[in-house]
Structure 1
Amino acid sequence: MIRNVLPRLTLRGVVTALLVLLGIGLVVHQSPRFAYAGYAPFQTPTGRAWLTLGLLGLWLLCWGIGLLVRRVSRVRISWEPAPSAPAIDTSGEARATAIALARVDHLFRCAQAVLRKGGPLWRLGRHSLYRLPWYVVLGETGSGKTSLLSSSRLAFLHAREEAAWQPGDPCRFWLGDQAVLVETDASLTGTASHSAWQRVLTRLRRARRRCPVNGAIVVVDAARLLAAGEEVVARAAAMRAQLEAMQGRLRVRFPVYVIITHCDRLDGFDAFFQQLDRRSADQVWGVTLPAGADGRGQHALAMFPAQFAALVRRLQDRVVDALAACGDAARAGQAYGFPAQFEALGQPLGAMLHEAFTASPYAVTPWLRGVYFTSAAQDGGEPLRCASPLAAALHAGARPPATAMAARHGYFVSHLLRQVIFREPGLAGRGSPVSRYGRAAGYAIAMILMGAVALAGAGLVSSYRHNAEWVARVQEGNARLAELAAQAGGSTDPAAMVALLDAAGWPVGGAGFLLRGFGLYQGQPLDRAAQANYRALLRETVLPFVQARAHAVMLDRQRDEDDRFDALRVYLMLGDAGHYRAATVMDWVRADARAWPVNDAQRADLLRHAQVLFGMRGFLPELASDAPAVAQARADIAAQPLADRLFGALMPRLRAEFPATLSVAQLAGPEAALVLRRASGEPLSKGVPAPYTRDGYARYRALRDAAVAAVRQDQWVMGAEAGPRPTAGQLKAQIDAAYFSRYMQAWDALLGDIRAVSLAQAQDGAALVRLLAGSDSPLRRLLQAAAVQTTLAAVNDATGSPATPVDQHFDALHRLFVAPQGGHAPYAAIQDKLAEVSVFLDAVDAARQRGMPPPAGDALAALRTQAQDQPAPLADILDSLAAEGGTLALQDVRQRLDDLWRGNVVPFCHAAMDGRYPVDARSAVDMTEDDFSRLFAPNGLINTFFQANLAPYVDMTVRPWRWRPGAAKLHFSRAALQAFEDAATIRDAFFPDGAKTMSVRFELLPLSLDDYFDRFALTLGNQTLQYAHGPARAMAFQWPSMGAAPVARIDYEPAGPDGRSGMLLNGPWALFRLMDMGTLQQVRPDRFILKLQLSGKPVSLEVDASSVINPFALAALHRFRCVGTLQDTRAMAATRTRAGTPGGHRQLPGREGAESPETARREAAAG
């Protein structure tokens, strides 16, 4: 009986049965877990039975619909018109067709029954049909199909008598040990629409859906290849139609093997191959074409001519051996002509293959795998025509007798089938996505089903093991909980409570773990019991702890009254179920948790337990209250005004909702850092707290109204004995007063701290002021934003409230941007003044670059005037800009003048004076008269520079000169001023009356001459003074003498004891060198006594200068030095120290790039 059942048992049936059983098991075990709104419809066995029947019915319905769809898809509708003539009686033909179809079905059933007997049990029937490859053998009648298979020496199974082949059958099964071959009758494949042929293809498809056939063997008679060309083409077309019909019907791509039979009828075949033994005759003779990249071999057809030519060459190479094996000349002639006979097959064979296997875009092209040549049996048939007249002449009458040919065996058959065709069963379906995906899907489904069964079994085992472990853990947890409860002993220590509650609450939330499911889960009853114990423990520990904390806070006089009020409210709620609100209590617990003496982890755990306690549905605490403590707390809280307490409770909530700040960078825009700074040093990223903005004010109003409304709701907290309370309007006014005060303080502090970036710290002061004067400048944006944020009346427009104190306080700021009718806003005038200042600073910079004095500072004075009566921070910003603009202009003057002095005067001064007389009295080198005049003359370098640049800054009415107060910021040195004063003294002494050249006029009067000398003579240029102890007479001199050499000479007689009788001095300074040789005593400003020693003998002369301003005994002449710079470096260093900031210079828009050396020096000097 088992053998009768197993052939009908398939893998699909087994899988379907497993799925049904698995589904029934899931329905029975898991459907009771399904519930909706507390209703479980499948809790009873009856409900589960109806669910099972419903699912089975649904499955049967789907199966029936699928079957109907498959049946309907096979229906074909013909729209041919009805025949006009009476139908021909085709009852005989119809009966023959019915017999043929029945015979096909019978042969397939018998073959399948035989094949299924040999399959192993695990293949479950159907898959035994896939053990061996199936091939369809096609060919015309007489092409040698049967002879080919009979002579292959394959081990074929002889069918029983009822399954044996009978003449006229549409097909024949050859059940071999290596393959199953289905030989089709030639009449069956005459037309593609033959009903018996279609039935064969249908049965093949049903028998082996995954791979109906592994290939097709097309047998072609060699004799028919040499027929007329039209017949070959017709046969090729019929072959192609037949193969395309197979591929379309079987829905699988398979290789086609073309076998040319009856090659022994080629003249010379027997003589050429007579030396081959049985083993050599079994080898393969033909061409196996390679499969292309697509697995279909369509591109290999073009290789056939070359491969066939190679076969011909191989035969030609064996001609010598074949001739040697022939016994007579006649057979040798036949063997010699055989290659030519074989070569004659190439052209018709190539034409046939080209017609049958050339790729076409309109149909699926058959896959040509190989072309082979065989000789199944030498039956002595008529030889084929010779390839040429010469071959016919050579072989005429040379045919051996038929009796000699009858004993010969087949050639090139056995290995062709065994070693080539039957070794490639896997080629069928290659390159077909449908087949590949179908196999993959089948394997995947099988793996999924097996995995599901394995997982289900493993799940049941795991469920049992994990549930046992879970029960053991619950028992251990209960034991540990009892131990911890005994250790705690009613302690109120929060750390001890956390350990106890963690131990009690661990089973909660453990339900639903995957490995504890599958119908064996026991966590729900365990969790219900554990949760009941856990909640009871929460009431015994957390609830008293929270009440104790509220009691302590409400009596703590160090706390704010609003904190004490919140604690009092929670304390009363825990003792009065009528006023209990879980959300209020939990909010207070979270706020109070920061003061608990536990670490962060314990605090988080204790809060979680408190959340569970106060989040329980239906929980209403009723703890006993301490009436004296409540009365004391109420009395302390009532001592503070209600408005102050409400405001103190309101602001923390407002700050929590608006934690950020409205920074200066947000108010003034991204360019704020270029032009604005904080006087306090705070960064621009800080500003006004967000609660003091319009958004914060809007939220404040809502919180204020809610707090005032909550006063009535929380009246029960203070008790009935509380005194009279202010009305809601009074409360709002009192709270608003406190809020507006802080609002104004916040904005006053910010606006009063805003300053403009110092012009001395900016790389381009004009660009900085230009940016401030722009229509979208950071200063304008800051002031406008501040005006908007301090205009709170707009927020009150919806309620019609009047302007707030904030609006009144900042009214001056608001009016800056309010334009009168037909006019401009006041801030526009300020922008115009700033624009004028930027133009002034540009002019200062241009003047500095051109070496010119700066322009008048009228724009700065106008800006300083405009700064008066302006609101903060505008007044300070404008005033500082005016002051720093003036300083910057003076800084440019200082640098420009210093550059001019060092560039135009200092180099020549050092070259003309350093190491020369009279500046250096000990020097033997004289300063030239021209150089002296070029430096000190009224039109000289020093006086010209002074008069053009420094005279306005010097007070020359005092001695010594001093810098005027307005020049203090120039930081010019005292040494430079002294040098200019000395130069003026030298100018007045040497260049009287504005002379362009040096001129010294004076008179000499001899006063005394030593008795040793008889005569004394003093010559200056071309003027000579003589004296010989007589009456003295004064003589006028001018130095240098006009038209005379600059010579100073003294002559005296007799010669002195040293033998000298005079001295001679040359050069423009000879007069002064002469005076330096003696002693010059000043009697009055214009009179001097010159005492000389001539060879040790005294001579005295009186020198009367032409003016009190004279070069004699002139200290300025020897004191004068060329100063290298006009600047006072020590004062500038101190200024840089005071003005310097860590931020360095600020780069303004439009001034990027390298700066000039003059600019760098100016900025370094300015700090």
Structure 2
Amino acid sequence: MSAALGFATRFMRLLVDRRIWIVVGLLALAAAIWLIGPLVAIGIYRPLDSVGARLLVILLIVAIWAARVAYLRWRAARMNAQLLSQLRGAAPDTIQPESEEAPHVQELRNRFDEAARLLKTARLGNVDARGGPGRWFERLTRQYLYQLPWYVFIGAPGSGKTTALVNSGLSFPLAEQFGRAAIRGVGGTRHCDWWFTNEAVLIDTAGRYATHESNRALDEDEWKGFLGLLKRYRGRQPLNGALLTISVSDLLGTSEVERTEHAMALRKRLQELRTELGIQFPVYVLVTKADLLAGFSEYFASLGRAERTQVWGFTFALREAGAAGFDLRAAFDREYRLLHRRLNDSLPELLAAEPDAYRRDLIYSLPQQFAGLHDVLGQFVEQVFSRSKFDSMPLLRGVYLTSGTQEGTVFDRVMGGMKRFLRIDPVPPVAQAAPGGKSFFLRALLQDLIFNEAALAGTDLRWYQRRRVIATSSYAVLAVLGIVLLFGWFGSYWRNRAYVNEVASRVPVIDQQLRQVTITDADNIAHVLPVLDAIRNIASTGNLDPQSPAMRYRWGLFQGDKLQAAADNVYHRALDELLLPLAARKLETALRNAPANDPAYAYQALKAYLMLYDSAHYDPVFIQAVLDLENGPSLPANFTPAQRNALRGHVAALFADRVVLSPFARDEALVAGVRDALLRLTFAQRLYVQLTRTLRPAAAQYEVDASHMAGTAASLVFRRQSGASLNAGVPGLYTYDGYWNVFDRRVDQAVDLFGHEEVWVLGLKESAVPTAAAATTLANNVRALYFDDYIKVWDDYLSDLRLQDTSALPQAMQIARVLSSHDSPLLRFADALAHQVTLVPGGDSAHGLAARAQDKVNSARESLAQIFGEQQAASAVSATDANEPESVVDAHFAGVRQLTQHEASEAGSPMSDVVKQIDAVYTYLNAADSALRSGATPPPSDAPDRLRAEAGRMPVPFRQMLDDLGNAAQGSVLRVMDRNLAQSASANIGEFCRQAIVGRYPFARASALDVTPGDFARLFAPGGMMDDFFQKNLQAHVDTSVQPWRFNGVGSAPFLASFENAAVIRDTFFGGGAHDPSIKVEIRPLDMDPGLSEWVLDVDGQVVRYAHGPQAPITVRWPGPGGTNQVRLQITELSGATDGFVVTGPWALLRLFDRASMAAGRASEQMVAGFSLDHKSFAMQVTADSVRNPLRLPQLEAFSCPAKS
């Protein structure tokens, strides 16, 4: 029966063992991998489909678990060994060598060494000697010393700690070898004894550790060392609990003061444990020597062995004891009363069973003795465990009464109290029997209660709650996961079923489309493309992409990969039948229509065309690239970007991962014609056009522009004359880095590769492949073609580069300021340009002697070319070194490089001197601006002229830039000055001028109003308003030697026309420096009508008469001497009748001739005036005293008063 019970017990322990369930879980996981693994798919890939893969995953999981178990075992064994090693040397170190306790310590050390040797080789736990399953189970459940729960006994000396351990009924591994007395020690515990059981490690500390009553300093040091040892070797959980012992004799045999001191000492030890170890742990109060209560032995004498092992005490509820408002004394009183009630409840039965009257008295008195202990014990517990704001106490788990052996003097508080009340002499206390009694209430307390609560250390109620929540949540998650899996599989099955049906429904539709596409339709991509799209997407639905299906279609049941594989086969057949003929025709058409002036295109088209007939040289990527370029312009105009992308995808699928040959016969005549056209070019020409087309993308990163070369200020000063963006620069292939990093590195290798490629592309013999000796010459020939383009590209770019608009003075100042700054963009551009056009290695390190010498040679060549011609100059001066073909570029741009070279005897480069001249222009513009703002005339300066002169010696693009800046500097100043002077003239002259002459004769010929002579003189006389303003403000800046007048160095300005006309009027009407206007003319009669006898012209008293006599000239002046401002013309007919008219006013003479018909004479100063009166005509010749004839002076009508521009 006992064997069966033992087996059942071990079996139950096996069922709840965590490690057994880990093994079960591993087996379940392995089964899931083995059975479900083949159903798991990632797209079309099934990683666990093969047996080997599944075995490998299972073995990997088991290996990881085994490695973790081995590591934990190794770590536990290592910590166990370290702990035992420390324990062996810990005790004697705390004792002075000369102490009288040394022999006992040595004896205990020897015994402990023996225990350590046993524990190093065997883990704790009994092994079934009979073998079988029980033996293996015990091997699985045994633990290392480090892994067992640890408890410490704390109590005053003689409180019964060791006695409780010895008589606890626990199994001690060392007892078989040394006996129980040896384990206990001799004469009580001096330091600390280590008790190793199968369930826990019990540390029995010396009583002086608790009270520090022997040697306070030594006791305190040993206690702190003990705590440090615990914390060092069990850092995670130094203790699982503490057993606080207080004997009945200490409670009843001491005064209240002594009990309080005792309680405070124990409280302090517990606080030190809590503080030093840093964890929370339960404390169990053991009231030992309960047998000293009178009647204890008699009351419990009837208990059997099993009954004596039960627990006698009370345990506080975890939730209640851990609460913030826990009332310890109230809880103690409540539980204590329950114990007392239990004692009373059992009295009738015990009293009835006991025949001896004396023993019945003792049995009857025990509940009263127990009640008498209530206040003392309650006060003691409260003093030790009461809570405070200033310290943190461990968790009081419960209070328990025990008895290890029945010896000592019995305390009878009931009888003692009665005798004191009755004043009877006390009877001496009665001693109990000798040692060797029975133990009460220990084993179950330790083994079933305390050891089973080992997990309470270091945790709290919230931790337990979290564990419950986590456990509950884990089960809930597993349940939800199971439900999700079921629903997932169910949903996946129905969705895949619907998906398969949908794909199947598309097949007849696509089949019908294929039947409708004829062979002729293959030439029209617009007909073919929808069919190819439908076939390619047959396995894809609006909600599903077979390449990346949604999770709801997976769950191991997805059928899209199988359908997609079948669809791919159909799709590739359709590509071969529909798209391949179109692609082949497209390449043939491209080859046939290749432009004659684009050999690179013709070569690429021929190469792609031949690949469809030559599997040895087949390159699908190249064919796709050619087709993509060809399809771009040839597709219908209504093709959308989506259709173009779809076509590009079909072409890629057609040629990818396989060799595809044309379904048509090769057109030999076409191939031969293209080959003949290409062979008309030299090898170098053919290679060069291919290289430039191929290398442009690789060299694109080296593209340079003015912004890159001149810095961030480039956009402030530069622009492109063509209107192109300043960021659109020179292609990267035609830059310094593009040449050396791309073109030069590829050209030599390309000669050999291209030579071999031409063998099959152009149908040449193998002997046509260049030899190593010829390859160098061919490479240099290719370079020569490249350098020609290099020069052209840079010339075109530089000739398009200009300065920003400088027509306005602020812009001119801004550009001059930026160009002349310390970090001048012009200097940076010149340096960068010199670097880009200096390709000879080391040539741009510039500016050494060799570079300058070469530049002088280039300059000499240019001079000779101008004198003798280029051919003779080339023979006279060799500008190109055969070993440095790049010198062609250097020679062409020698002038640019010279700008940035620094002569040893000079402070800077020529371009630095140019920047200084620009700075002088900026200084001039700044001064002119200040003067113009203040209304003054700008100071004279030759800085713009010197800059323009320097520009004539500069290379492109600097020549045009500097010339533009010089012109703009002067022009912008004069334009502002023109505007300012116009405003000034308008303010000083304009108003009066407009009042005096506008709408008046002679400036308005049809006007009846006359300009007064005084106003006329005030405006136009020498020193008058017009002349005075010109002399003071304009004469120094205006070039009057040209017509029309203009400001020095720049074009004419409308403002100057008024002063130019005024000067002519002044010279015409104010001859000889006169201050009043006057006219002097010579009048000579010419002819007269026969019906007239004479005509008479009276000019203010100056008479000219003609009567068919001599034609003598007469000089007249206006105004005349008569002072009448009157001119009279009269005729006399033969009949004696007269006719005529009179003109009055300051301009009467001019008005007279306005009535005549004027005709030009033989000279500019002569005019013929014809008159007609009464139908009788006569004529006279009028000759002015100047070529500027005042009678018909155009400046009078052209004159306008100065006004704001």
For the 8 Å contact 1:511–1:523, the answer to whether it is kept is no
| In 1: Cα distance, 2:941 partner to 2:318 partner | 104
Q: Judging changes above 3 Å, is the alpha-carbon distance between structure 1 residues 541 and 941 closer, same or farther for their aligned structure 2 residues?
A: closer
Q: Does 1:874 align with 2:955?
A: no
Q: Counterpart amino acid of 1:682? A: A
Q: Does 1:836 align with 2:920?
A: yes
Instruction: State the match for 1:1059 in structure 2.
Output: none
Q: Does 1:568 align with 2:615?
A: no
Q: Judging changes above 3 Å, is the alpha-carbon distance between structure 1 residues 870 and 30 closer, same or farther for their aligned structure 2 residues?
A: same
Q: Report how far residue 561 of structure 1 moved.
A: 4.7
| In 1: Cα distance, 2:416 partner to 2:943 partner | 129
For the 8 Å contact 2:820–2:918, the answer to whether it is kept is yes
For the 8 Å contact 1:668–1:781, the answer to whether it is kept is yes
For the 8 Å contact 2:241–2:282, the answer to whether it is kept is yes
Alignment of 1:166-565 (within 5 A): 170=168, 193=192, 227=255, 229-238=257-266, 240-241=268-269, 252-254=280-282, 365-367=392-394, 381=414, 432=458, 477=503, 480=506, 484=510, 487-489=513-515, 492=522, 493-503=528-538, 543-557=580-594, 560-565=598-603
| In 1: Cα distance, 2:882 partner to 2:471 partner | 72
Q: Counterpart amino acid of 1:752? A: S
| In 1: Cα distance, 2:477 partner to 2:282 partner | 34
| In 2: Cα distance, 1:26 partner to 1:193 partner | 54
Q: TM-score, normalised by structure 1?
A: 0.53
Alignment of 1:661-1060 (within 5 A): 661-698=703-740, 699-702=742-745, 704-705=747-748, 707-709=750-752, 710-720=754-764, 736=783, 739-763=786-810, 765-766=812-813, 768-794=815-841, 800-820=883-903, 822-823=905-906, 824-848=908-932, 852-891=936-975, 893-894=977-978, 897=981, 947-950=1031-1034, 969=1052, 971-972=1054-1055
| In 2: Cα distance, 1:651 partner to 1:229 partner | 109
| In 2: Cα distance, 1:966 partner to 1:247 partner | 100
Q: Report how far residue 956 of structure 1 moved.
A: 11
For the 8 Å contact 1:555–1:632, the answer to whether it is kept is no
| In 2: Cα distance, 1:579 partner to 1:887 partner | 68
| In 1: Cα distance, 2:1048 partner to 2:464 partner | 105
For the 8 Å contact 2:628–2:648, the answer to whether it is kept is yes
* Higher-RCO chain (CA-CA 8 Å, sequence separation at least 6): 1
Pick one of 17, 24, 33 that aligns with 1:18: 24
Instruction: State the match for 1:78 in structure 2.
Output: 88
| In 1: Cα distance, 2:1044 partner to 2:1122 partner | 26
Pick one of 617, 620, 625 that aligns with 1:579: 617
For the 8 Å contact 2:700–2:732, the answer to whether it is kept is yes
Q: Judging changes above 3 Å, is the alpha-carbon distance between structure 1 residues 247 and 468 closer, same or farther for their aligned structure 2 residues?
A: farther
For the 8 Å contact 1:170–1:196, the answer to whether it is kept is no
For the 8 Å contact 2:244–2:286, the answer to whether it is kept is yes
Q: Does 1:616 align with 2:663?
A: no
| In 1: Cα distance, 2:593 partner to 2:1016 partner | 94
| In 2: Cα distance, 1:536 partner to 1:584 partner | 22
Instruction: State the match for 1:1110 in structure 2.
Output: none
| In 2: Cα distance, 1:794 partner to 1:849 partner | 54
Give a deviation string over 1:912-940, Cα, whole Å, max 9, x none.
999xxxxxxxxxxxxxxxx9999999999
Same amino acid, percent of matched pairs: 22
RMSD in angstroms over aligned alpha carbons? 7.5
For the 8 Å contact 2:581–2:662, the answer to whether it is kept is no
| In 2: Cα distance, 1:625 partner to 1:211 partner | 92
Give a deviation string over 1:1038-1072, Cα, whole Å, max 9, x none.
xxxxxxxxxxxxxxxxxxxxxxxxxxxxxxxxxxx
| In 2: Cα distance, 1:59 partner to 1:855 partner | 96
Q: Report how far residue 241 of structure 1 moved.
A: 3.8
Give a deviation string over 1:813-862, Cα, whole Å, max 9, x none.
22222344534533233233223322333333344456544333322322
Q: Counterpart amino acid of 1:949? A: N
Q: Report how far residue 893 of structure 1 moved.
A: 4.2
| In 1: Cα distance, 2:278 partner to 2:921 partner | 97
| In 1: Cα distance, 2:381 partner to 2:607 partner | 109
Q: Counterpart amino acid of 2:956? A: A
Q: Judging changes above 3 Å, is the alpha-carbon distance between structure 1 residues 771 and 554 closer, same or farther for their aligned structure 2 residues?
A: closer
Q: Judging changes above 3 Å, is the alpha-carbon distance between structure 1 residues 431 and 850 closer, same or farther for their aligned structure 2 residues?
A: farther
For the 8 Å contact 1:289–1:368, the answer to whether it is kept is no
Three-state SS of the structure 2 residue aligned to 1:687 is coil
Give a deviation string over 1:574-621, Cα, whole Å, max 9, x none.
33333334444344344445356665445545544554554437x575
| In 2: Cα distance, 1:61 partner to 1:957 partner | 113
Q: Counterpart amino acid of 2:535? A: L
Q: Counterpart amino acid of 1:549? A: K
Q: Report how far residue 556 of structure 1 moved.
A: 3.2
| In 2: Cα distance, 1:852 partner to 1:49 partner | 100
Q: Report how far residue 872 of structure 1 moved.
A: 1.7
| In 1: Cα distance, 2:200 partner to 2:277 partner | 7
| In 1: Cα distance, 2:1062 partner to 2:514 partner | 97
Instruction: State the match for 1:9 in structure 2.
Output: 15
Q: Does 1:588 align with 2:626?
A: yes
Pick one of 625, 635, 641 that aligns with 2:665: 625
Give a deviation string over 1:1023-1049, Cα, whole Å, max 9, x none.
xxxxxxxxxxxxxxxxxxxxxxxxxxx
Q: Report how far residue 688 of structure 1 moved.
A: 2.5
Q: Counterpart amino acid of 1:484? A: I
Three-state SS of the structure 2 residue aligned to 1:78 is helix
Instruction: State the match for 1:651 in structure 2.
Output: 692
Q: Judging changes above 3 Å, is the alpha-carbon distance between structure 1 residues 989 and 371 closer, same or farther for their aligned structure 2 residues?
A: farther
| In 1: Cα distance, 2:1020 partner to 2:416 partner | 144
Q: Counterpart amino acid of 2:393? A: P
Q: Report how far residue 13 of structure 1 moved.
A: 4.6
Give a deviation string over 1:738-762, Cα, whole Å, max 9, x none.
5444433332233223333344435
Q: Report how far residue 73 of structure 1 moved.
A: 6.5
Q: Judging changes above 3 Å, is the alpha-carbon distance between structure 1 residues 531 and 68 closer, same or farther for their aligned structure 2 residues?
A: farther
Q: Judging changes above 3 Å, is the alpha-carbon distance between structure 1 residues 909 and 612 closer, same or farther for their aligned structure 2 residues?
A: closer
Q: Judging changes above 3 Å, is the alpha-carbon distance between structure 1 residues 961 and 814 closer, same or farther for their aligned structure 2 residues?
A: closer
For the 8 Å contact 1:189–1:197, the answer to whether it is kept is no
Q: Counterpart amino acid of 2:803? A: A
Give a deviation string over 1:129-150, Cα, whole Å, max 9, x none.
xxxxxx999999999xxxxxxx
| In 1: Cα distance, 2:1049 partner to 2:76 partner | 113
| In 1: Cα distance, 2:1039 partner to 2:611 partner | 88
Q: Which runs of 5+ in 2 are unaligned?
A: 116-124, 127-140, 142-150, 171-186, 204-229, 231-235, 291-315, 330-373, 400-410, 425-452, 523-527, 845-880, 998-1014, 1077-1115, 1127-1189, 1191-1199
Q: Judging changes above 3 Å, is the alpha-carbon distance between structure 1 residues 573 and 646 closer, same or farther for their aligned structure 2 residues?
A: same
Higher alpha-carbon deviation: 452-461 or 633-642: 452-461
Q: Report how far residue 226 of structure 1 moved.
A: 8.9
| In 1: Cα distance, 2:318 partner to 2:486 partner | 57
Three-state SS of the structure 2 residue aligned to 1:547 is helix
